[in-house]
Amino acid sequence: LPNHTAVVSHIAIDIGGSLAKLVYFSREAHSTEPGGRLNFQSFETDHIDDCLEFMRKLKRRYQRANGANSPPASELCVMATGGGAYKFYDKIREVLGVDVLREDEMECLIIGLDFFINEIPREVFTYSEEQPMQFVEPGDNVYPYLLVNIGSGVSFLKVSGPREYERVGGTSLGGGTLWGLLSLLTGARTFDEMLDLASQGDNSNVDMLVGDIYGTDYGKIGLKSTTIASSFGKVFRKKRQAENEAEDSGGLGQKELHLQRQQQSQTQNGVHTPPLLDEDMEPQEPQLSGFVSKDPSRPFSSADISRSLLYAISNNIGQIAYLQSQIHSLSHIYFGGSFIRGHTQTMNTLSYAIKFWSKGAKQAYFLRHEGYLGAVGAFLKRQP
Ligand code: ADP
């Protein structure tokens, strides 16, 4: 909650498949200065009750500041967007006891982005390994552009002018995919733990690189030896090799390991564990580096797996973004959505993909408040 003397008058919430993003305006109660501040807060959509409780406290603060008999015109204004604005509509109204204004999700995204691009200094930036975070100050010639919003899934929006947009594509391989698969494949319990793992991993232990196939680079078609030829492409062979070695050295063979795993999975707490989960992994203790499973058939570290999957998802989105920008003749590409989370490898991969495929003709842009485009858009739509 903001400082106890601050009063909140507007709240906007964007409730997506994974996260509920809250933006609210607060100002000091007795301040004679105009203006105030925007506050940002997010909750897992699964914990929507915590989020509503937080909003209820903001509302109480508002009522106290306005007195019990405040006229209805001064009612706290609550805007909602995202799928959850529909799914949880009755619940929000019930808990808060106020009317809720629903706004279109895509429209809010671009209103929010336009605001950040045009009005907020030190918000939009470009990213590369050599020049991390170069801010781009508000300027002219903003349109047309491509917005790639990477949330649970991914949407590609072509924006031709203020409030003029079209959703031109999408992919279900997005943030939810990374979050979900890494929860199965590693011991990480939160998204940030996954990003930590990824930042420490070495994907070449898991990915098949051009160099693994050619023994060198493939210069003729512009592929470096470190280019990923196949994400997770080394896993099967390495796993089989490790199993064979274990068998040769008198350990458990492939068949025995398989049987042992099946038995374990059936007996563990009486709960069926899918074979994909490694029974040796301790979900309570995510392994941040150098993890080698006790199971000889799984010589892969959580960090390497995380790095590899982060690259796979980001490269794929970068490639689709480039193709969409080609189809629609757009040279400015903005990346939003909570998936990015300011993570350097994610931004570097997306940025590099755009630069590489466009031969430097197109530019990727990122935002400091990348996850809050929709919430800020909903907030702005009802500003007096
Ligand atoms: P949505 O509107 O679909 O919920 P968001 O833009 O909020 O989409 O992005 C959700 C994605 O952001 C998740 O799927 C995950 O990849 C990533 N993410 C970032 N922070 C978190 C977090 N604290 N918990 C879960 N996922 C997170």
Please tell me the distance between residue 180's alpha carbon and the centre of ligand 1 in angstroms: 11
Average pLDDT of the residues in 115-129: 95
146 band by pLDDT with thresholds 50, 70 and 90: very high
pLDDT at 276 over 50: no
Nearest to 232 by CA among 208, 201, 200: 208
Please tell me the distance between residue 285's alpha carbon and the centre of ligand 1 in angstroms: 22
Cβ atoms of 267 and 241 within 8 Å: the answer is no
Residues 6 or more apart in contact with residue 245 via CB below 8 angstroms = 296
Nearest to 185 by CA among 288, 271, 345, 303: 303
What is the enclosing helix (H) or strand (E) of 52? Answer: helix 48-66
384 band by pLDDT with thresholds 50, 70 and 90: low
d(CA 243, CA 252): 8
282 band by pLDDT with thresholds 50, 70 and 90: very low
pLDDT at 274 (0 to 100): 41
Average pLDDT of the residues in 211-216: 90
> Most confidently modeled of 30-39, 118-127, 261-270?
118-127
Nearest to 343 by CA among 305, 370, 375, 373: 370
pLDDT (tens digit per residue) in 344-370: 999 999 999 999 999 999 999 999 999
Question: Which domains are delineated in the chain?
Answer: 6-106+375-381 (3.30.420.510)
**67-76, 129-138, 146-155, 299-308: least confidently modelled range:** 67-76
pLDDT at 45 (0 to 100): 98
154-161, strands of its sheet edge to edge: 134-135, 124-126, 363-367, 332-336, 145-150, 154-161, 164-171
pLDDT at 33 (0 to 100): 73
Residue nearest to atom 16 of ligand 1 (CA): 175
Alpha carbon of residue 245 to chain centroid = 39
d(CA 321, CA 380): 27
Q: DSSP code of 310?
A: H
Structure tokens at 16: 């997506």
141 band by pLDDT with thresholds 50, 70 and 90: confident
Instruction: Name the amino acid, one letter, at 20.
Output: A
Average pLDDT of the residues in 136-146: 90
* Probe residue for ligand 1, chosen from 191, 317, 373 as the CB with the greatest number of ligand atoms within 8 Å: 191
pTM: 0.87
* Ligand 1 atom with minimal separation from the 371 CA: 6
Average pLDDT of the residues in 55-77: 73
Instruction: Name the amino acid, one letter, at 83.
Output: G
* Probe residue for ligand 1, chosen from 40, 86, 179, 346 as the CB with the greatest number of ligand atoms within 8 Å: 179
**What DSSP line would sit under 204-255, residue for residue?**
GGTSEEHHHHHSS-BGGGTB-TTSEEETTTTHHHHHHHHHHHHHHTTS--HH
What is the enclosing helix (H) or strand (E) of 66? Answer: helix 48-66
pLDDT at 75 over 80: no
pLDDT at 269 (0 to 100): 44
pLDDT at 263 (0 to 100): 60
pLDDT at 279 over 50: no
pLDDT (tens digit per residue) in 100-111: 999 999 999 999
Please tell me the distance between residue 191's alpha carbon and the centre of ligand 1 in angstroms: 8
Average pLDDT of the residues of the chain: 87
Cβ atoms of 154 and 171 within 8 Å: the answer is yes
In percent, the amount of the chain with pLDDT more than 90 equals 68
pLDDT at 60 over 90: no
- Please list every protein residue whose CB sits less than 6 Å from any atom of ligand 1: 16-19, 44, 82, 151-152, 175-176, 178-179, 191, 337-339, 341, 371
